[in-house]
Amino acid sequence: MKPFDNRPIGIFDSGLGGLTVAAALQHKLPGEAVAYLGDTARVPYGDKSVDAIIHFAHQDVEFMLSRGVKLVIAACNTVSAVALDSLKRDYSDQIILGVIDSGVRAVIDSGAERVAVIGTRATVNSDAYRRGIHAANCSIRVESIACPLLVPLAEEGVTSGPIVPAVFDLYLAKLRQDPPDALLLGCTHYPLFIEALNDYFSGKVQILDSATACARYTAEFLCEHHIAAHPGNTPSFGCFVTDLPSEFHRHATRFLGRAPGRVERINLA
């Protein structure tokens, strides 16, 4: 049995949002190297057809594997909700993790009896979170709400100020009147709105973030499978994008909490 594995963890997303997963992962596992792919030329995935999302996800995984990663995390909730079964079937000799299971675990661990899940249209239409939560505990009341405008707002850096609660009102006004016990952020972009959501719900709703939950789950997975990096490993962080690196660079710090370093443009086709 190999006690350590210093190969990078591959994390991919439709764009910038998965950097919230990369940030949570590197905070929890500072010795792990990361190869990050953002399919910035085709973001958003959340409004695309199931067929298109599956097709893109396969290309993303192919690229990640070409970088010699030890496992691949589909950090995109949309991909995890719609394409994970297909990826696991077609790459059965590889380790592919999604974010839905960890989000579900965060809900179960929270003890919430009523939870609202927010995400992209594709994630909400897939019903993946409700199915996962009910497989673990069918007495939890789950409602799922698509909040498509939050992705472009996060990408534009508009995460506070008067527009934000106005957009929340479009989707969450009813929920605000009758708050659930917990709100699960089922989209990689939404952790940027944690403060604004706390204000919107006057701190009355427990906010669960699938990015942090995914980092916790991955840490356990690496330990259990004896594939964690050596504690003395000096980790690298490589970023790959399918469109302008300068644009990615400009916005990445808000998602990652620091500058991303070198960003390389690649072609997935």
Determine how many CB atoms are found less than 10 A away from the CB of residue 157: 12
Nearer to ligand DGL, 20 or 229 (CB): 20
Residue ranges in contact with ligand DGL by CB under 6 A: 13-14, 17, 43-46, 76-78, 119-120, 123, 151, 187-189
* Strand positions, DSSP E, 204-256: 206-209, 237-241
Instruction: Count Cα atoms within 13 angstroms, Cβ side, for 152.
Output: 5
Q: Please state the closest distance from residue 148 (CB atom) to ligand DGL, in A.
A: 8
Nearer to ligand DGL, 76 or 140 (CB): 76
Cα separation, 252 vs 153, in Å, equals 14
Comparing CA positions, the residue from 49, 64, 136, 147 lying closest to residue 100 is: 136
Nearer to ligand DGL, 142 or 187 (CB): 187
Q: Please state the closest distance from residue 20 (CB atom) to ligand DGL, in A.
A: 9
Distance separating the N- and C-terminal Cα atoms of the chain? 37
Question: What are the start-end ranges of the H helices in 137-209?
Answer: 150-155, 163-177, 194-200
| Backbone dihedral angles phi then psi of residue 144, each to the nearest 5 degrees | -120, 135
Is 147 part of the annotated catalytic residue set?
A: no
Nearer to ligand DGL, 8 or 148 (CB): 148
Is 223 part of the annotated catalytic residue set?
A: no
What residue is closest to ligand DGL based on CB?
46
Residue carrying structure tokens 């009896």: 113
Catalytic residue from among 147, 187, 214, 239: 187
Catalytic residue from among 76, 147, 214, 239: 76
Q: Please state the closest distance from residue 233 (CB atom) to ligand DGL, in A.
A: 28
Q: Please state the closest distance from residue 39 (CB atom) to ligand DGL, in A.
A: 8
Active site residues: 76, 187
